[in-house]
Amino acid sequence: MNNLLKFSLGIFLSLGVAWLAFVVGARAQFGDLTPSSETLDEFGNIPSDSDLYPLPVSGLAEQGSKEYLALGCMTCHTQQVRMVEAGFDVERGWGQRPSVARDYIHQKHVLLGNTRIGPDLANVGLRQPDLEWLHKHLFEPQSVVPQSLCPPSPFLYEQVDQASGKTFTVVNDKNESRFIVPSIRAKRLVSYLKSLHQNYELPEMAFVVNEEENIEKNAELLNLPASDVNQSSLPSWLEKQIASGKEIYMKAAPGGGLCFTCHQPSGEGLAGQFPPLAGSDWVLGDKERLIKISIYGLMGEIEVNGEKYNNVMAPPGIPPGSLTNQQIADVLTYIRNDWGNSASAVTSLEVSTVRNKIKGRAPMQMWTAAELSAVDE
């Protein structure tokens, strides 16, 4: 300790060992990851015809990441979905699977963050694909999320007196409308936020299958109806979703679904006119099909539990087609879990994924049963 040289050497070595592990070791282990396909073939190679993930980031989004950094968004937002054993990020709907190191290889600056005063943004591009919503949120977060603590960024927008094709309308809590035109910086930032999604699987990390689906699977294996395996006491989040779904199902005012007028409060429909939901093979079946119907409606001939019906179902909601992702998730969860039905819940993330998939479809263009089954195959 008395010899300065030896002392400095000790000081140097104590740090040097940690440096070897966290810098040299970490770089050697995962500093040179490359994009990969979603699954590997049986020899552990990337199949030659498959897409590689993560996809490269667009130039505009890359510039947007600089705006994100400069405004200090990272102070309140993380961009990482934690492992399932380390937190309930997947359950919260913040991602379909935990984030892994490979997801970040294209980012010049990795903005993981360490505090969540705002929600995690690793998949914000999937949750909020709506351009207008994102712009309104940047201009004044409180106009779309009333209780948000996120600071407004009016300096990214130009306010004009009249609405036009280029403007977005933001309404504040005093019901005053403002018309805003996004600057190039706002556009970059929105493009960056939309580019944030981890909606692909990787060889090291598959999508998380939620618990009810697991129970369903196990039940199939055991040849038992799912309801026998399900616990009688539901988890509180599911109870809440079902309650909210029931309200939408029964509501005949703006914001409601007006479902009960045809399908009846009992879920039994009307023989020959409107198909039942209770025990229906459509309701208990593929979720994607249900979500599509809930967005665009359905017309023409359809066979439910062996019976044929031929009628028109306008896009649900008052006004038609106005249900939000969360509302659709709730109401579908409700009809899958009442009148003796018992099937997995639908999340708003699933709804938004489907909505994205079919966003090219013209508004109000109802599906036909044939179209939906064709998509299935």
Partner 1 sequence: MKQNSEQIIDKSLKLTVCFFVASAGLWLLAAALLAYISAAKLTDPFFLSSFEFLSYGKVKIAQANAFVYGWGGNSIFAVTLWVVARLSQAEARGKVIVLFAGFIWNLAITFGLLGILDGHMTPHEMLEMPAEIWPALFISYSIIAFFIIVTHRSRRNSNTIAPQWFLLSSLLWFPMLFLIAWNGLEINPARGTVQSVLSMWFGQSLIWLWLTPVALGAAYYIIPAILGRAIDKYYLAVFGFWCIALLAPWSVVHHLEGGPVPMWIPAIGTVMSIAMIFPIAVASTNFHSTAFLDISKVWNSLPLRFVIFGTLSYTASSYIGVIFSLPAVAKITQFSIINDFHFNQRVYGFFSMIIFGMVYHILPKITGNEIAKGAKSFHFWTSAFGVLILLLAYLIGGLTHGVLAQQPSLNWASSVISSILPYFQITELAFVVLGFSQLVFVVNVWKAIIPNPFAFFTNDDDATNSEVSA
Identify residues 103-142 at the interface with partner 1 (CB under 8 A): 103-105, 107, 109-119, 141-142
- In the 8-state DSSP scheme, what is residue 21? I
CA angle, 205 then 209 then 211, to 5°: 140
Q: Is 99 helix (H, G, I), strand (E, B) or coil?
A: coil
Rg, the chain, Cα only: 25
Q: Are 284 and 343 contacting, i.e. CB atoms less than 8 angstroms apart? A: yes
Q: Which residues have CB under 8 Å from 75's CB, separation 6+?
A: 113, 115, 117
**Minimum CB distance to partner 1 smaller for 73 or for 291:** 73
Per-residue string for binding with partner 1, 146-175, x by CB under 8 A? xxxxxxxxxx--------------------
- In the 8-state DSSP scheme, what is residue 63? H
Q: Are 157 and 183 contacting, i.e. CB atoms less than 8 angstroms apart? A: yes
Contact flag: residue 325 with partner 1 (CB under 8 A): no
Stretch that binds partner 1, among 39-47, 144-152, 248-256, 305-313 (CB under 8 A): 144-152
Which residues from 199-258 bind partner 1, rule CB under 8 A?
A: 235-238, 240-241
Contact flag: residue 102 with partner 1 (CB under 8 A): yes
- In the 8-state DSSP scheme, what is residue 141? G
Which residues from 48-87 bind partner 1, rule CB under 8 A?
A: 69-76, 78, 80, 82-83, 85-87
- Is the backbone peptide bond immediately before 254 cis, with ω within 30 degrees of 0? no
**Minimum CB distance to partner 1 smaller for 1 or for 374:** 1
Q: What would the two tokens of residue 13 be?
A: 């070595």
Sheet containing strand 298-304, strands side by side: 307-313, 298-304, 367-368
Stretch that binds partner 1, among 24-32, 218-226, 272-280, 285-293 (CB under 8 A): 24-32
Stretch that binds partner 1, among 95-103, 130-138, 250-258, 331-339 (CB under 8 A): 95-103
Residue 322 exposed, middle or buried by CB count within 10 Å (0-12, 13-18, 19+): middle
Per-residue string for binding with partner 1, 289-308, x by CB under 8 A? --------------------
**Minimum CB distance to partner 1 smaller for 11 or for 364:** 11
Contact flag: residue 2 with partner 1 (CB under 8 A): yes
Least distance in Å: CB of 6 to partner 1? 11
Interface residue with partner 1, options 40, 60, 131, 145 (CB under 8 A): 145
